[in-house]
Amino acid sequence: MSLVLTCLMDQGMLSRDSLEVIGAGKSLASDLGAGLAVAVIGAETSALCAAAGEYGAGKIYSVQDASLEQYYCEGYLAALEAVCRECKPVAVLFVTNMQGRELAPRLAKRLNKAALVDCLSFNVEHETGRIIFTKPVFGGKAMAQVVLSDAPAVVALRRRSFEPAQQDQVEPEIIQVKPVSIPVNPFKVMERVEEQQAGVRLEDARVVVSGGQGLGGPENFAILEELAGLLGGAVGASRVAVDSGWVSSSKQVGQTGKIVAPDVYLAVGISGACQHLAGCSGAKVIVAINTDPEAPVFGAARLGVVGDYKDVLPPLIKKVKEII
C-alpha cells in the first residue's frame, strides 16, 4: 500500500505546525487511497510517537539517536533519507518553517526528485492519480499549479493553510529505522535564550493588530498593544517596522516573517507590499487603516479606512471598552 509521509521534529509534543501537516497528510492520503505515515526524529521519540498515534498515524517511522537531541540539518536529513528509502512514499510533506525550508530541497536532491516549497493547497486527479499543487509565485501576485510527476513529491506546506488534524486514536505500527550513518553535529549549543511571551502567540491569535511605517516610531505601538489586549489578540508588524528597530523580529508578519491566519487582521499604517500580504492572506477579514487611499493594502482588505490611525483607533478602543 502506498504511503503519504509527514515529517515531525518537535521536542516531545505536537506543535500546531505538526498538527497541520498531519491534517494535510490525512487529507492527501484519503484522496489517493493511501496510508498515512509519520517520520519522528529525535534522541527520545516515544512520547512523540504516542502523540502522533492519537491523531491517526497508522505507521510511525522512528529514528532515535542521542546525536539527534537538537535539530541540525545534516543529521535530520540523513534520518529522513533513511526513512524514505525504507517506506518509499508517494509524497513527503513538511511545513514551510525554518526546518522545512532547509530539509525539503535537500531531501529531494538526495532522492533525485524535485521539491516544492510554500504550497497552499493540492488536488488529486482521480483519473490519473496526479497531485496538483498550488503555490504563490512572483511574490504572491499569481498562483501556479505544479505537478511533481515523479514520486515521491517532496513538498513544504505554507503554515496556516491547512486545518490541524483532529484526534483520531489508532494503534500505530512503530518501525525503528537506523540510518547507515549520521553525520557528526558540527555545532554546539552554548546558551539558549527564550523571549518571554506575554499573552497569546502571534501565530495562534484570532485577532492580530499590526503596525507599519505609518506609525512613525516605536512609541506608537503602545496604542496597538492596548487594542490587541482588549480584543484578546496579538501585535504584529511589517518588515519596515522591524528593520527600523521599533519592535522585535518575533512580531514580523510576512513572507520572511510569520504566517498568520486570524479571524481579523488589522493593518495600521501598512502600505501592503505583496511580501507582507503573503503573511496575512489567510485571515478571514483584513481591515486596513492608512492615510494613502492608493495603498495596495486596500486591495486585499474587506474593510478600509482612509485616515490617520491617531484619529481612528482612540474611538475604536473606547467603543470596544464599552462593549466588553
The overall average pLDDT reported for the chain is: 91
Q: Give phi and psi for 289, each to the nearest 5.
A: -125, 115
163 and 87 share one domain: yes
pLDDT for position 96? 87
pLDDT digits (tens, 9 = 90+) for 61-86: 999 999 998 899 999 999 999 999 99
Domain presence at residue 183: no
Number of independent structural domains in the chain:
2
Question: 125-129, 194-198, 270-274: which range is least confident on average?
Answer: 194-198
How would you class 146 by CB atoms within 10 Å of its CB: exposed for 0-12, middle for 13-18, buried for 19 or more?
A: middle
pLDDT confidence band for 10 (50 / 70 / 90): confident
264 and 285 Cβ atoms separated by less than 8 Å: yes
46 and 34 Cβ atoms separated by less than 8 Å: no
109 and 152 share one domain: yes
134 and 144 Cβ atoms separated by less than 8 Å: yes
Grid coordinates of 160: 496556516
pLDDT digits (tens, 9 = 90+) for 53-62: 899 888 999 9
What domain range is 270 assigned to? 202-323
Q: How many CB atoms lie within 10 A of CB 179?
A: 19
For the question of whether the overall pTM of this predicted structure is more than 0.85, the answer is: no
243 and 168 share one domain: no
238 and 300 share one domain: yes
CA dist 43 and 46 (Å) reads 10
Residue 166 belongs to a domain with what CATH number? 3.40.50.620
